[in-house]
Amino acid sequence: MTPLAVFDCDGTLIDGQSSICDAMERAFLAHGLPAPDRNQVRRAVGLSLPQAVRTLVPDLPAETQRGLVDAYKQAFRAAREAGQLAQPLFDGMRALLDALAAAGWQLDVATGMSDRGLLHCLATHALSGHFVSLQTADRHPSKPHPAMLEAALFEAATPADRAVMIGDTAYDMQMARDAGVRAIGVDWGYHRPEELRAAGAEYIAPTPAALGEYLLR
């Protein structure tokens, strides 16, 4: 049966940390709040946006948290429309995706991004046709809930023991574990390798090329 590789997006396929941090700072500024620590913002990447905001400011009223979510969306949209988003593909990632596809793997994405954000990102990098399905925070609970992976398995008609989840955060590893899917971490993203191992990663890839060698061995 055809294997399935499910990729996280930001921190795994692309490096969007500067755009994320910039948009979050503008959202907080719009509400008269001090800018959040950038390291804490980066650590929340992978969660859905509402969950990330709750993680950053758990003591603020829910109404203020919702306002920050809306302000972040507006700031991010404005940057995208102005052509100011920085979301480069990690070096070697396109070659990895092409190699997996050539070897007969199905590919999927499971991300805390929105549908619109993910579609724009994939189109920018000419990757829209690489994936059999796209799972986003618009249609699923936030990671580490396994709903995204469960939907990916269903849509690819692939059993859990023939799939891998590839991501850069403990949320990805926990999601994989809860869905019964193999968890593989990458060390070029937002969480440290030891955190990924503690969350269930069977392997931490140092580069996309090494990841390809591990999967295709």
How many other C-beta atoms lie within 10 A of the C-beta of residue 101?
15
Active site residue 98: no
Task: Please confirm, yes or no, whether 10 is among the known catalytic residues.
Answer: yes
List 10, 22, 168, 172, catalytic entry: 10
Ordered strands of the 203-205 beta sheet: 133-135, 106-110, 4-7, 163-167, 182-186, 203-205
CA–centroid distance for 216 within its chain: 23
Alpha-helical regions (H) of the chain: 17-30, 38-44, 49-56, 62-81, 93-102, 115-124, 147-156, 170-179, 193-198, 208-215
- Cα 90 from Cα 94, distance rounded (Å): 8
Beta bridge partners of 160: none
- Tokens 């509400």, residue located: 31
Q: What totals of helices (H) and strands (E) does the chain contain, helices first?
A: 10, 6
Question: Catalytic one among 8, 15, 108, 168?
Answer: 8
First to last CA, the chain: 17
Which sequence positions are flagged as catalytic?
A: 8, 10
